[in-house]
Amino acid sequence: MFGGNLPECLKTLSSLRLFDISSNRFSGMLLPSLIANLTSLEYIDVSHNKFEGSFSFSSFSNHTKLEVVELTSDNDNFMVETEEPIGWTPMFQLVVLVLSNCNVNRAKGSVLPGFLVNQHKLQVLDISHNSIQGKLPNWLIKNNTMLELLNLRNNSFCHNFLMPFYRNPNIWWLDFSGNLMIGVIPKDIQKFLPYITNLNLSRNSLEGAIPCSIGDLWQLETLDLSSNQLSGEVPTGLLTNLSELSLLKLSNNRLHGEVLSGNFSFGNIESIHLDSNYFSGKIQSAPNKTSTLSQITVLDISNNLFTGLVPHWIGNGTLKEFVARNNRLEGQFPCGIASLRFLDISENYFSGTIPPCLNLQIVEHLHMGSNLLTGSIPNSFRSMLSILTLDIGNNSLSGTIPEFLGELSDLRILQLRKNKFSGSIPKQLCQLTSVSLIDLSSNSLSGQIPHCLKNIARPTYQAFMESSYHSYPRNSFYNYRSILNKKFNIHDSDNLFETQDEITFTTKTLALFYKGGILNIMSGLDLSCNKLTGVIPKELGLLTHIRVLNLSHNVLTGPIPVSLSNLTDIESLDLSSNGLTGKVPVELIKLHSLAVFNVSYNNLSGKLPEMKEQFSTFTKESYEGNPLLCGPPLEYKCTTEPHETYQLNEEETYEKWHDVDMTSFYGSFGSTWLVFMFGFAILLYINPYWRRRWLDFVEECLYTCYYFIYYLGRKIFIFRK
């Protein structure tokens, strides 16, 4: 927690060999004059401080013993300049160089540091997060034959993925993610990278198929090819040959095929991401009996074309019921993934019921929404005591909402929208004191809104971090074998394999995606499109931290509670399409964060609040369908009473009728009647159609009178008799 500027007296330490002030709060400029005098330095690490301004890398030009430099920045106000003065030549040969998030040469067009052409002993090179542009020169890898770790993450390198890696058989960590790389993955990649353990080519523009030779990278532990334009089927060896593989990420590509329909095996994979592709087919009821499932922590197959039933092996029981139906299975195999913490099978075409054997005791995020699931919520959900996110919306589930959901004390997000749930909202949901988002919209729920929902509050701890459920590879540290055997941690500056939770929630009339840490502050309650009755509980005004409240399209009655003016953080308030009465409370003007307000199609009346603060931004569409409302922005002006009114006494009120000129009254009435009859007669004379309609009407009236008199006469006759 050291802070302030670095003292200039440090420059007198001419014999200093190791200088590590990383992870503090030092601020100000990193003075070149101070660094230039420390000519005995071998190891310097000033990362993760609050330095600002520009630092010239030429300050190290006379450091003949320098081998390790790390200048990772945590802010956007620090810049490293390597091209000034022009033509400077380094006297050092670096082994480790980390210039991550340092705005390298931003003033010069973000070019690759020129001094690297003189480096031949690099083993670790990390210039990630700098937006460096241009092509990656071949000499960088050709000159450094001992290079083991190369991190170019989040730059703007544009190049075909065809580089002379055959000269660098020592590379075990390669990260090209977040660049503009094009072309295809080489078919003989195993010749270029025979000992690679961590390969990340995600977020580029690579095309073509995944080569089968990638299954020959026998030491591969993590493989991330997500967010490219890869097509074709997944090579079989990718799921069967790589015994060391622990993370596989193929998300957001154009891959297809029945990848999970055959005799697949997960091997030792801990984290599997196959989401957002075109994978199809039914998932095998049980994986290969030689496959172990106990190690899987993340399974994401969302947004594909999978069909059939939800596989039972994602539960936590046994496969007894499958042994009898499949002669190839012998004995009992684990039906569950005991270590599973993140499961996403949403946005597919799974049908049938949710498997009753599910017993995901430690799962934290469960996404089964946007499928074709039917039936009710199984009792096995009662065991999910660690659940944070439960999303089973956009299905055809039915029945009532189980009361035991209120026992899931850690639950933060509950999404049951767009199903066929009926009955009332269970009061047990009020026990979810940690919940921040509840979406029960578009069901057939009835009854009143529980008053106890006031207990929903902003949680007191952060549950949605950009955290990883994947253990880091074994080779996470590089040992600098010199002074103090200092270890250089390659994960200090970046969490490369994070798994972030993501949900969809309707906010401000838009279905928006919320991902990662934003879920810690997002809160909302959506009960729209149901059959809820009664009044809006005034206790909802105690949800002071809620940002979205949607009660629209129900059968709610009564006034809008004034207590809703206490929702100081609310951004979207929708009470439309109900039967609400009374005025729009003027106290709602205090809601300074309100961006969307809709009370249309109710029975509201009276003058609208003044167009001040946020209410000055709302248009007439917010109030339409309420004919008794008046005032801006509506076109109907409110009538104002005169300042002085004359009260008539009872005698004057009675005598005012005797003041009418009856002669004028009868004359006016008679002339009006004659004009009407004359015009009507002309209409009948010149228009045969209306003349015929008039005769039919008269005939119907005569028949009606005849039958009425006949019926009345019979009744009198019977009564008298």
354-388 pLDDT tens trace: 988 777 788 899 999 999 999 999 998 998 889 99
What is the SS3 assignment for 284? coil
**pLDDT exceeds cutoff 80 at 150:** yes
pLDDT one-digit tens code per residue, 336-357: 566 788 999 999 999 999 988 7
Whether pLDDT at 669 is above 80: no
The per-residue pLDDT for 678 is 73
Residues 160, 20: Cα–Cα separation, whole Å: 38
Angle 662-686/688-720 helices, nearest 10 degrees?
A: 120
8 A C-beta contact, residue 420 and residue 510:
no
Q: What is the mean pLDDT of the chain?
A: 82
CA-CA-CA-CA dihedral for 267, 270, 273, 279, to nearest 10: 30
CB–CB of 352/306 below 8 Å?
no
The least confident of 75-89, 174-188, 190-204, 275-289 is 275-289
Q: Please give the C-alpha separations between residue 716 and each of 565, 705, 707, 708, in angstroms, as whole numbers.
A: 66, 16, 14, 12
**pLDDT tens digit string along 594-617?**
999 999 999 999 999 999 889 999
Burial of residue 67 (CB within 10 Å: 0-12, 13-18, 19+) is buried
Beta 124-126 vs 149-151: how paired, if at all? parallel
Label residue 8 by pLDDT band (50, 70, 90): confident
Per-residue model confidence as pLDDT tens digits over 617-662: 999 999 999 999 999 999 888 886 444 434 444 444 444 444 556 6
- Largest Cα span, the chain: 135
Residue 106's pLDDT is 81
Q: Look at 22-31, 40-49, 320-329 and tell me which has the smallest mean pLDDT.
A: 320-329
- Helix or strand or coil: residue 56? strand
In one-letter notation, the amino acid at residue 687 is N
CA dist 59 → 19, 85, 91, 120, 149 (Å): 15, 10, 11, 20, 25
pLDDT at 322: 29
Please state which of the ranges 170-174, 413-417, 662-666, 712-716 shows the lowest mean pLDDT: 662-666
Angstrom distance (rounded) from CA 93 to CA 75 = 28
313, pLDDT greater than 90 = no
- Low-confidence winner among 18-32, 184-198, 392-406, 654-668 (lowest mean pLDDT): 654-668
Identify the pLDDT of residue 326: 33
C-alpha distances (whole Å) from 173 to each of 185, 493, 515 are: 17, 15, 28
pTM beyond 0.85, yes or no = no
Which of 41, 25, 45 is CA-nearest to residue 492? 45
For residue 238, give both structure tokens: 């990718």
Is the confidence at residue 465, as pLDDT, over 80? no
pLDDT of residue 715: 65
How many Å apart are CA 473 and CA 490, to the nearest integer?
A: 11
Of the two residues 429 and 466, the one the predictor is more confident about is 429
Alpha-carbon 296 to chain mean position: 24
Q: Which residue has the higher pLDDT, 457 or 128?
A: 128
Q: For the chain, what percent of residues have pLDDT higher than 90?
A: 49
Read off the pLDDT band of 666 (50, 70, 90): low
- For residue 111, give Cα distances in angstroms to 30, 84, 238, 607, 617: 22, 13, 37, 63, 47
Q: Which amino acid is at 477?
A: F
Most confident segment among 412-421, 631-640, 692-701: 412-421
What are the tens digits of pLDDT across the range 75-88?
889 999 988 888 88
95-136 pLDDT tens trace: 999 999 998 888 777 788 989 999 999 999 999 999 888 888
Band (pLDDT 50/70/90 cuts) for residue 445 is very high
Confidence of residue 486 (pLDDT cuts 50, 70, 90): low
Report the C-alpha gap between 238 and 265 in whole angstroms. 10
pLDDT tens, residue by residue, 261-312: 876 677 788 899 999 999 999 987 666 554 556 678 899 999 999 999 988 7
Tokens representing residue 56 in the block: 């010239």
> Which one is predicted more confidently, 362 or 426?
426
What do you get for the CA distance between the two ends of the chain, in Å?
A: 111
DSSP assignment letter at 403: G
- pLDDT tens, 515-572? 667 777 788 999 999 999 999 999 999 998 899 999 999 999 999 999 999 999 999 9
